Amino acid sequence: MSEPTSPGGTEPPSAPVTDAPLAVVTGASGFVGSHIADELLRRGARVRCIVRRSSSRRWLEGKPLEIVVAPLEDSAALAAAVTGATWIVHAAGLTRARSAAEFHEANVGGTERMLRAALTVGPGLRRFLLISSQAAAGPSRDGMPVSEAHPPRPVSAYGESKLRSEELVLQMRNRLSVCSIRPPAVYGPRDEATLKLFVAVKRHLQPVLHRGGKFSLVHVEDLARACWLALDDDRAAGEIFFVAEPDATNYDEMGKFAKRALGTWAVRFEPPAWLLTAGALAGEAIGALTNRPPFLSRPKLREIQAGDWICTSAKIRARLGWSPRMPIEEGFRQTAAWYREAGWL
């Protein structure tokens, strides 16, 4: 987008203003948020992205959208940024942090301030959508998929912060039309987390972090389509939905998908518990030195090892007619191709 930014923090839109409905998206500079913004553009919406001044805009550049610089700590800036919104998608938040307090401030505090901003929009606001996480519900029970009907059982500070965010959103359903989506692990183009698996496999090493541990996945484009339905369908109001592939996978199977996608071989490697713990401690130490949250920490390791992470998307299939279009193996091939084209592999 062109500079300079206007005094209010808004950059000029790349396309003429129309009468199309306006979707305001937080976290649009990130992996999931940028795909949601893309889906909204495909659906004919005007899209306004709320970003921090320090946020990378590589996934937003050259697209017919508007960018507003508004920190999630600035209530007045957020209220100005959502003016005229038809839909608000709150996808911003932390998935890694140095402490429970940091998770709470970013995820719970950010959601609370976005809800306050949403209240200023008026009757033109059709839906407030929170992008939550399966972590809010916790792992599966006895190997069975967790559903929206199960009492939440988060096992990490991250999960607790997402659950509290959901509770804040649902508390507003008498004043706002709200909805929450709980994706499991998300993968696809632009994802830097799954990239680590592909890089390891390219180096002929297939890591298995939890033997036999099953989990659900969703391709980011399927998730983005689910978000559109949650915004556009009146039957989504006041609801929470899991959005996941019908088939669970595991670390062994993911490694095989990655090997086939890259056309290579890799040696299976299951790190012993002591080595994973040592890696988590090292990550925390490096994070403390660099003032950045570690990719692997002891809380994250406990989350991985808490059991199976399987969820069912039966509710959103029945209620809104959503179904995934990207089978996991095909999604891995597509993602690998994108990584290569982007020069990431």
Per-10-residue mean pLDDT for the chain, 345 residues long? Answer: 33 54 97 98 97 92 95 94 98 89 95 98 97 96 90 94 98 97 97 95 91 90 98 97 93 95 94 80 76 76 83 97 95 97 95
pLDDT computed for residue 109 by the predictor: 97
Give the single-character DSSP code of 5. Answer: P
Contacts of 149 (CB under 8 A, 6+ apart): none
How many other CB atoms are there within 10 angstroms of residue 64's CB atom? 11
Environment class of 170 (CB within 10 Å of its CB; exposed 0-12, middle 13-18, buried 19+): middle
| Distance from C-alpha of 202 to C-alpha of 265, rounded to nearest angstrom | 8
pLDDT computed for residue 6 by the predictor: 31
> Torsions phi, psi of 18, nearest 5?
-125, -175
CB 46 within 8 A of CB 235: no
List of E strands, the chain: 22-26, 46-51, 66-69, 87-90, 127-131, 178-182, 185-187, 205-207, 214-215, 217-219, 239-242, 249-250, 267-269
Tokens standing for 341? 């084209």
| Distance from C-alpha of 2 to C-alpha of 109, rounded to nearest angstrom | 31
